[in-house]
């Protein structure tokens, strides 16, 4: 009996031991596969990436997310293509690292293309991995961040790859306005591949190592005979200043990652959420400096960014599209800890006039803020729309209408402060009371009229001026008369188009209180499929 028990125990222990050995082997296989996946396209290609001053996909994810927060999805995915000897060339993960983690404790979904695997090119399975995290991001209401570094469609896969791109494009559109989508371009991005980033909310490009174009320099040379480098055609500074395709630029990969985190800090997780608020205790909110910012001569410029700095929380302004259409300034800031979006005419550039590019830039920003419940502050000093054939032939009518439309449809809390000029159609467009602004303030020197006193006098008093013995003196007299009547905020205040004329030094305090008062604003819009923005 004792022998039988001992034998049974021996067999049981042996079984356990075998199971352990068996599991050890299985774990070894798993570990070796995960280690292989981590190597991407191999050490040599990773070294080559570093030599170009770029981080690898995994390093980028590591620095972007909170320590130990990243959970990878699909590390063992492989492509399914067999043409051109592809069956023998398998890299675990297939050129894109996907998963989720946190940034400052907030959930995000991320994909990072791995240039060390077939140049980060997009295969059918690579696209499926991206689509998987996009679907999760939408279902769970958290931002999607794409770190792009890719040679485009996986050439060996043909139409399978193109289909993969289209699957991503479709999801970009379905996710638009539901969750924030942010694209960092950290390497090449060419061909139709540029259209996924273009449909996301923000693009950030790394200077010197990234470019975006639909057709590269060689095709350009063949078709148009133009000689242009990749950098000139679609580098970060080109898209930041000339085309406006990129909203932000970064000096290197780490700067890009830092700016991505900063951008996210102003933005809510999804369209039903509110942006994070920083703790703030109200104190003396007067800013005396603001009383002396506007020059005596109304034709002299001043820097609207000094006004922004005087109104918002210290060091909180995060400018978007800084080098593009500089006659309008847009960006995020905090007011007593609350996230706001700012749209401000810039008198330092083209006198702050509205033109094609500034209208498009501001309209896009207003629509983003409205999608994601970020209240809007407008600082207005605008002499009108820019005249000229260039503007008319480039559709200032349609493009100006974009801004008018964007403000008119926005339901977030909206406040305007007229710091100086509010002339002509631009008065209406720049978040006037008439198109749904909630609170409209003006500084005492504000001029709210159809046009400037000189232009107005030349038109309406033309006959009188022409008939005068001294036409110049007559014009000056009429100009004064017109300015006394209209170049002030009181006509508009008398009609209720301006809610209050305020001291500049009191602007911050007024805005903090007004935005708090508007915190629970709710607007019902008529039921419809969607409006028809003048695209
Ligand atoms: C497969 C690719 C690839 C691609 C690069 N590789 N692009 N593999 N499909 N699209 C591979 C290379 O063979 C190489 O493999 C490795 O990636 C690195 O490429 P290099 O050329 O050595 O690197 P570099 O000199 O830095 O040049 C990068 C590059 C260049 C500028 C991106 O590779 C390039 O021009 N690639 C082709 C770009 C392109 O035309 N793509 C299609 C665009 S059309 P090894 O094994 O040597 O490391 C498109 C349509 C999308 O994308 C439409 C969507 C609607």
Q: What's the half-sphere exposure (Cβ side, CA atoms, 13 Å) at 395? A: 7
Residue 5 has pLDDT above 80, yes or no: no
Sorting pLDDT into bands at 50, 70 and 90, what band is 451? confident
Listed range (21-30, 286-295, 311-320, 331-340) with the worst mean pLDDT? 21-30
Least confident of 7-16, 82-91, 220-229: 7-16
Q: What are phi and psi of 222, to 5 degrees?
A: -65, -45
Whether residue 395 is predicted with pLDDT greater than 70 in this model: the reply is yes
- 157 in the same domain as 49: yes
What is the pLDDT at residue 487? 87
Q: Give the count of beta carbons closer than 10 Å to the beta carbon of residue 143.
A: 25
Ligand 1 centroid from CA 481, angstroms: 68
Spell out the residues 6+ positions from residue 3 whose beta carbon is closer than 8 angstroms to its own. none
The answer, as to whether pTM is greater than 0.85, is yes
Mutate which of 151, 152, 168, 211 for ligand 1 pocket (most atoms within 8 A of beta carbon): 151
Ligand 1, atom 21, lies closest to the CA of 119
Helices within 285-435 (DSSP H only): 304-311, 356-371, 389-393, 396-409, 424-429
In a domain, 18, yes or no: no
| Arithmetic mean of pLDDT over the chain | 95
Instruction: Find the angle CA(338)-CA(343)-CA(348) to the nearest 5 degrees.
Output: 125
Q: Cβ distance 448 to 407 under 8 Å?
A: no
φ/ψ of 354, rounded to 5, equals -90, 130
Residue closest by Cα to atom 4 of ligand 1:
154
Report yes or no: 58 and 37 within 8 Å, Cβ to Cβ. no
Residue 315 has pLDDT above 90, yes or no: yes
Residues 6+ apart with CB under 8 A from 361: 244, 321, 324, 325, 328, 330
Q: State which ligand 1 atom lies nearest to the alpha carbon of 154.
A: 9
- Please state whether beta strands 338-345 and 328-335 pair in parallel, antiparallel, or not at all (unpaired): antiparallel
pLDDT at position 125 is: 97
> What confidence score (pLDDT) does residue 453 get?
85
Ligand 1 atom 5: the closest Cα is on which residue? 119
Residue 206 has pLDDT above 70, yes or no: yes
**343 and 405 together in one domain:** yes
Mean pLDDT along residues 259-270:
98
- Cα Rg for the chain, rounded, in angstroms? 29
The verdict on residue 477 lying in a domain is yes
Q: What is the pLDDT of residue 76?
A: 97
The answer on pLDDT for 375 being more than 60 is yes
Instruction: Tell me the average pLDDT across 11-25.
Output: 75
Checking if the pLDDT of 3 tops 80, the result is: no
Pair 355, 492 in one domain: yes
What are the phi and psi torsion angles at 430 (to 5°)?
-80, 65
Does residue 244 carry a pLDDT above 60?
yes
The residue whose CA is least distant from atom 48 of ligand 1 is 118
- Partner residues linked to 107 by β-bridges: 102
pLDDT at 191 > cutoff 90: no
Atom of ligand 1 nearest to the CA of 41: 48
Phi–psi pair at 212, nearest 5 degrees:
-135, 125
The predicted pLDDT at position 180 comes to 98
Check residue 20 and give its pLDDT. Answer: 72
With a cut of 90, say whether residue 6 has pLDDT above it: no
The answer to whether residues 296 and 383 belong to one domain is yes
In this structure, the answer to whether residues 360 and 507 fall within a common structural domain is: yes
> Which residue, judged by its Cα, is nearest atom 54 of ligand 1?
192
Q: If 0-12 CB within 10 Å is exposed, 13-18 middle and 19+ buried, where does residue 362 land?
A: buried
Select from 211, 229, 264 the last residue of a domain. 264
209 CA to middle of ligand 1, Å? 15
Instruction: Indicate if the pLDDT at residue 14 is higher than 90.
Output: no
**Rounded-to-integer distance, Cα 154 and Cα 167, Å:** 15
What is the distance between the alpha carbons of residues 66 and 104, in angstroms, rounded to a whole number? Answer: 6
For the annotated catalytic residues, the residue numbers are 191-192, 425-426
CB within 6 Å of ligand 1 — which residues? 45, 118-119, 121, 151-155, 162, 165, 188, 190-193
CA distance 446 to 183: 40
CB-based contact 447:508 (threshold 8 Å): no
Let me know how many helices (H) and strands (E) the chain has, helices first.
Answer: 20, 17
Tell me, what's the pLDDT at 8? Answer: 66
pLDDT at 502: 98
Cα separation, 430 vs 459, whole angstroms: 25
Enclosing domain of residue 342: 288-450+487-517
Residue 208 forms part of a structural domain: yes
Nearest ligand 1 atom to the CA of 152 is: 52
Any idea which of 71-75, 81-85, 339-343, 506-510 has the lowest mean pLDDT?
A: 81-85
What's the pLDDT band for 18 if we cut at 50, 70, 90?
Answer: confident
Residue at 254 is within a domain: yes
- Which helix (H) or strand (E) segment holds residue 177: the answer is none
Average the pLDDT over 202-210 and give the result: 97
CA distance 13 to 528: 71
Same-domain status, 446 and 460: no
Q: How confident is the model at residue 517 (pLDDT cuts 50, 70, 90)?
A: very high
- Domain for residue 25, yes or no? no
- 329: closest CA among 346, 350, 341? 346
Residue 163 has pLDDT above 60, yes or no: yes
The residue whose C-alpha atom lies closest to atom 37 belonging to ligand 1 is 151
What's the CA-to-centroid distance between 217 and ligand 1, angstroms?
Answer: 15
Q: At residue 58, does pLDDT exceed 60?
A: yes
With contact defined as beta carbons under 8 Å apart, do 285 and 512 qualify?
yes
Count CA within 13 A, CB hemisphere, residue 416.
Answer: 28
How far apart (Å, rounded) are the C-alpha atoms in residues 394 and 381?
24
DSSP labels for 246-263?
A: -SEEESSHHHHHHHHHHH
Does residue 463 share a domain with residue 408? no
| Residues 477 and 349 occupy one common structural domain | no
Residue 215's CATH number: 3.90.226.10
| Closest-lying ligand 1 atom to the alpha carbon of residue 188 | 32
Amino acid 432: pLDDT: 98
For residue 455, the model assigns a pLDDT of 86
Closest C-alpha to ligand 1, atom 9: 154
- Cβ(212)–Cβ(234) below 8 Å: yes
Mean pLDDT over 488-517 rounds to 97
Q: What's the 112 CA to ligand 1 centre distance in angstroms?
A: 16
- What are φ and ψ of residue 436, in 5° steps? 105, 10
Distance CA 339, CA 375 (A): 7
Distance from Cα 126 to the centre of ligand 1, integer Å: 15
SS3 199: coil
Considering only CA atoms, which of 269, 335, 254 is closest in space to residue 105?
269
497 plus 477 within the same structural domain: no
Domain tally, the chain: 3
Please tell me whether residues 339 and 468 are part of one structural domain: no
Q: Please tell me whether residues 496 and 482 are part of one structural domain.
A: no
Dihedral in degrees, nearest 10, Cα atoms 463, 469, 473, 476: -10
Q: Which helix (H) or strand (E) holds 212?
A: strand 211-213
Q: Which two tokens stand for residue 114?
A: 């791995």
Separation of 153 CA from ligand 1 center, angstroms? Answer: 8
Does 283 fall in a domain?
no
- 186 CA distance to ligand 1 middle (Å): 15
In a domain, 527, yes or no: no
Q: Which atom of ligand 1 is nearest to the CA of 216?
A: 40
The answer to the question of residue 7 being in a domain is no
Q: Are residues 63 and 77 in the same domain?
A: yes
Which pLDDT band holds residue 486 (cuts at 50, 70, 90)? confident
Residues whose CB is less than 8 angstroms from the CB of residue 452 and which lie 6 or more positions away in sequence, other chains included: 383, 421, 423
Handedness of CA 489, 491, 497, 503 (dihedral sign): positive
> Residue 2 to residues 5, 13, 15, 451, 455: CA-CA distances in angstroms?
5, 16, 20, 110, 115
């Amino acid at each position: 009996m004792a022998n039988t028990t001992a034998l049974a125990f021996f067999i049981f222990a042996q079984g356990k031991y075998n199971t352990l050995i068996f599991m050890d082997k299985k774990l070894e296989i798993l570990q070796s596969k995960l280690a292989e996946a981590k190597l991407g396209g191999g050490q040599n290609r990773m070294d080559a990436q570093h030599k170009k001053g770029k981080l690898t996909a995994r390093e980028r994810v590591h620095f972007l997310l909170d320590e130990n927060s990243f959970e990878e999805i699909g590390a063992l995915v492989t492509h399914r293509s067999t043409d051109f000897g592809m069956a023998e060339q398998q890299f675990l993960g297939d050129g894109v690292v996907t998963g989720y983690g946190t940034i400052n404790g907030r959930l995000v979904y991320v994909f990072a293309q791995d240039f060390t695997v077939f140049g980060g090119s997009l295969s059918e399975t690579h696209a499926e991995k991206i689509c998987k995290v996009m679907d999760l991001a939408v279902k769970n209401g958290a931002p999607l961040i794409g770190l792009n570094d890719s040679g485009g469609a996986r050439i060996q896969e043909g139409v399978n790859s193109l289909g993969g791109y289209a699957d991503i494009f479709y999801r970009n559109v379905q996710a638009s306005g539901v969750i924030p989508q942010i694209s960092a371009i950290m390497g090449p991005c060419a061909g139709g591949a540029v259209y996924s980033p273009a449909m996301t909310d923000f693009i950030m490009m790394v200077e010197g190592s990234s470019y975006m174009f639909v057709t590269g320099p060689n095709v350009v040379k063949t078709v148009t005979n133009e000689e242009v480098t990749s950098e000139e055609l679609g580098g970060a500074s080109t898209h930041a200043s000339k085309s406006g395709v990129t909203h932000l630029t970064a000096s290197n990969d780490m700067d890009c990652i830092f700016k991505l985190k900063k951008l996210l800090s102003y933005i809510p997780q999804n369209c039903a959420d509110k942006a994070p608020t920083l703790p703030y205790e109200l104190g003396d909110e007067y800013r005396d400096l603001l009383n002396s910012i506007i020059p005596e001569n109304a034709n002299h410029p001043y820097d609207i960014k000094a006004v922004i700095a005087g109104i918002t929380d210290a060091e909180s302004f995060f400018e978007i599209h800084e080098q593009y259409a500089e006659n309008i300034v847009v960006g995020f800031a905090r007011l007593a800890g609350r996230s706001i979006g700012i749209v401000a005419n810039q008198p330092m550039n083209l006198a702050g006039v509205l033109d094609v590019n500034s209208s498009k830039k501001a309209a896009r920003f207003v629509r983003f803020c409205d999608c994601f419940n970020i209240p809007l502050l407008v600082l207005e000093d605008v002499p009108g729309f820019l005249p000229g054939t260039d503007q008319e032939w480039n559709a200032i009518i349609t493009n100006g209408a974009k801004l008018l439309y964007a403000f008119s449809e926005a339901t977030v809390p909206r406040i305007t402060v007229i710091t100086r000029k509010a002339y002509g159609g631009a008065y209406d467009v720049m978040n006037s009371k008439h198109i749904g602004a909630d609170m409209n303030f003006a500084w005492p020197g504000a001029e709210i009229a159809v046009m400037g006193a000189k232009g107005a006098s030349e038109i309406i008093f033309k006959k009188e001026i022409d008939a005068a013995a001294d036409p110049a003196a007559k014009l000056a007299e009429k100009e004064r008369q017109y300015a006394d009547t209209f170049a002030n905020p009181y006509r508009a205040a008398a009609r209720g188009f301006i809610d209050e004329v305020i001291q500049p030094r009191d602007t911050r305090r007024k805005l903090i209180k007004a935005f708090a008062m508007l915190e629970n604003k709710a607007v019902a819009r008529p039921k419809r499929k969607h409006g028809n923005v003048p695209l």
